[in-house]
Amino acid sequence: MPGRLLYVDGRDRRLEALEIRIDRGADYTSRAHAPGTEELVICLDGTLTVGPEGDEQHLDRGDALHFAADLPHTYRSGDGCLALCIFSYPAIRSH
């Protein structure tokens, strides 16, 4: 799944924005991210089915979904998709 990193913020919570393209008929499964990670996916073009395994939601252009990404989750596109993924996760603190 090719992507382009758009933004990273490094305070108490890290925030990353990633633009992704998913080819027609592609199916991508993501392992669980670090505890406390959340994801906001905005479908910019095409269609996308996304979310935690067993609770995926269909998104059309302009739709968005916010979900806990510290669970395995999937991205599936029927006709191809351009999406914006915004990840929010706790910053790692050094001692």
95 part of a folded domain: no
pTM of the model: 0.82
65 part of a folded domain: yes
23 part of a folded domain: yes
21 part of a folded domain: yes
Q: What is the CATH number of the domain that holds 13?
A: 2.60.120.10
- Residue 95 pLDDT greater than 60, yes or no: no
29 part of a folded domain: yes
Model pLDDT, residue 78: 84
Which range of residues forms the domain containing residue 79? 3-89
Model pLDDT, residue 51: 96
Model pLDDT, residue 29: 93
Number of domains in the chain: 1
pLDDT for 4-15, tens place per residue? 766 666 667 788
pLDDT for 39-80, tens place per residue? 999 999 999 999 999 999 999 999 999 999 999 999 999 889
How many other C-beta atoms can be found within 10 angstroms of the C-beta atom of residue 87?
Answer: 19
Rounded distance between C-alpha atoms, residue 84 and residue 21, angstroms: 9
